Structure 1
């Protein structure tokens, strides 16, 4: 379950881009996990947020997420599978609606120059 959230959150700030750039993709080994179940576990979700923010320890999946998130943002998740894009949208909506403070902190850290927000017309 932890690994699934890591992959889902990997694209948290990434858009639902329509085409993949090149043949290289992120791993799809976590695509069959129940996203709703993962988002319903506050303890796990908060652990990943702390990992991403640098205020908590990271699991191996969290470290991978932290490494890939900047690329996912820069490329609008172009290396994500269709399932990852759908799940990312679900995660983004969940964070925006239920964890607005944490969502803003993640945006501020991983989109410091506001490029992602500008591309996707996101207001703070």
Structure 2
């Protein structure tokens, strides 16, 4: 299993993205992450957006804009709901969409500098 490179925050940002001064907007906090993860077509569309291989929804565009900052700051501007959704998305991609996980990791964390920050997060969550 590959280390958790935070690009997946990206997909969680589907649920909550839009950079603000202090915190990311909660505008997308009520997006049904479970429905997106359960629907391969919708999830693939978000992944294509993030990979710049397809069109983006409003949520996808905001996610793509927010991702670099979220990676850099370790999601410090995320609220608790956004952090929980991020963990869920990361786990799902690592387990069920490995090649997409690998591709997103290469694009958003090519040096692997962020994944160390998130390995412990996922490790702790897996033990809980």
Structure 2 CA distance for aligned equivalents of residues 54 and 82 of structure 1:
28
Structure 1: state its 5+ residue gaps: 1-5, 12-22
Alignment of 1:17-96 (within 5 A): 24-96=22-94
Cα distance in 2 for partners of 1:35, 1:60 equals: 15
Query: Which whole-Å CA distance do the structure 2 matches of 1:35 and 1:59 have between them?
Result: 15
Contact 1:7 1:30 in 2 (8 A): no
> 8 Å contact 1:72–1:78 — kept in the other structure?
yes
Higher helix share: 2
Selected match of 1:10 from 13, 26, 42: 13
The CA RMSD measured in Å over matched residues stands at 2.4
Secondary structure at 2:114's aligned position in 1?
helix
Give aligned pairs, total: 107
- Answer yes or no: is the 8 Å Cα contact 1:47–1:56 preserved in 2: yes
Structure 2 residue aligned with 1:114: 112
In structure 2, runs of 5+ residues without a counterpart are: 1-8, 15-20, 121-128
Task: Flag the 1:84–1:121 CA change in 2: closer, same or farther, 3 A.
Answer: closer
Does the Cα contact within 8 Å between 2:12 and 2:89 map onto a contact in 1? yes
User: For 2:61 and 2:81, how far apart are their aligned partners in 1?
Assistant: 21
Provide the rounded CA distance (Å) in 2 between the counterparts of 1:34 and 1:60. Answer: 15
TM-score (norm 1): 0.76
